């Protein structure tokens, strides 16, 4: 609640390298009293700086921009990514990738007011849910083939993106959950789980070592010898979360 006793407004940022496209979204947002516009950005680098400083709840993000695209921005933000991201673009071929990276919605230009309103309502629902629950979940509910499985998150070895689903690896078994990687990363305990790639999250207790592969790329090796690609953008965070206690090995 705000100091005046009213519900806090949703803090929104609009990112697009085209001024007209930005102004259209801003005009629609200003018609909604529940939204506060914290800024407009015309470039990826400006966007990264503003998001880290302002920490908006909602970002309307263009996919194709100079310097970096919208997917690069989300990857560089990592855990600093806003609770709700809505991609706004004239290109329909990126929709699947957008949802795979955790986008809440995908607005295809030109969109009408009703379509925009539906996306905004979804954002309000997600943000309200995040704000109402600060505790990290310790189990997941998985529905499959007529039964419901209650899986303790501590049992998960690692998670990978699988189209609209997340694939949970638990020993020799794999379970599919209809959740985005960004949603899971936000809900899982950061003391136990860490994002190591756009499409991969690991249980830190399963990590045995970090190493370079034969191509000079970074790998995370788990206790069961599973090898997972480690993005350079997540390496420092992973090493920090591990307390740099896991050795970095170079193949002979």
- Give the per-residue pLDDT at 42: 92
143: nearest Cα among 175, 187, 100: 175
Rounded CA-CA distance 145/239 in Å is 39
Whether residue 142 contacts residue 151, with contact meaning beta carbons closer than 8 Å, is answered with yes
- Give the per-residue pLDDT at 1: 45
Residue 189 has pLDDT above 50, yes or no: yes
Regarding pTM above 0.75, the answer is no
Mean pLDDT of the chain: 86
Longest dimension (CA), the chain: 65
Cβ atoms < 10 Å from Cβ of 10: 23
Rounded CA-CA distance 98/120 in Å is 17
- Give the per-residue pLDDT at 153: 93
Residue 12 has pLDDT above 90, yes or no: yes
Rounded CA-CA distance 236/7 in Å is 38
- Give the per-residue pLDDT at 2: 46
pLDDT digits (tens, 9 = 90+) for 65-111: 888 888 888 888 877 888 899 999 888 887 777 777 778 889 998 89
Run of H or E residues at 74: helix 70-77
| Structural tokens at position 127 | 């943000």
* 9 phi/psi in degrees, rounded to 5: -80, 155
| Structural tokens at position 134 | 């600060």
Tell me the pLDDT band of 249, cut-offs 50, 70 and 90. Answer: low
């Amino acid at each position: 609640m705000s100091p005046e006793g009213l519900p806090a407004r949703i803090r929104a940022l609009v990112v697009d390298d085209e001024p007209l496209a930005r102004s259209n979204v801003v005009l629609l947002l200003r018609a909604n009293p529940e939204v506060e516009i914290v800024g407009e950005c015309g470039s990826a680098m400006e966007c990264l700086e503003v998001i880290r400083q302002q920490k908006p709840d909602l970002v309307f993000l263009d996919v194709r921009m100079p310097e970096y695209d919208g997917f690069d921005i989300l990857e560089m933000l990592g855990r600093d990514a806003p609770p709700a991201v809505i991609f706004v673009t004239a290109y329909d071929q990126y929709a699947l990738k957008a949802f795979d990276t955790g986008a809440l919605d995908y607005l295809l230009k030109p969109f009408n007011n009703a379509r925009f309103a539906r996306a905004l309502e979804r954002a309000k629902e997600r943000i309200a849910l995040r704000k109402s629950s600060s505790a990290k979940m310790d189990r997941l509910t998985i529905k499959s083939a007529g039964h419901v499985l209650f899986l303790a998150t501590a049992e998960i070895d690692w998670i990978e993106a699988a189209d609209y689903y997340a694939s949970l690896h638990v020993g020799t078994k794999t379970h599919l959950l209809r959740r985005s990687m960004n949603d899971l990363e936000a809900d899982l305990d950061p003391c136990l789980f860490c994002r190591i790639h756009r499409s991969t999250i690991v249980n830190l207790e399963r990590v045995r070592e970090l190493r370079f592969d034969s191509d000079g790329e970074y790998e995370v090796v788990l206790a069961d010898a599973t090898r997972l690609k480690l993005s350079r953008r997540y390496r420092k965070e992973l090493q920090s979360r591990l307390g740099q206690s896991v050795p970095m090995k170079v193949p002979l």
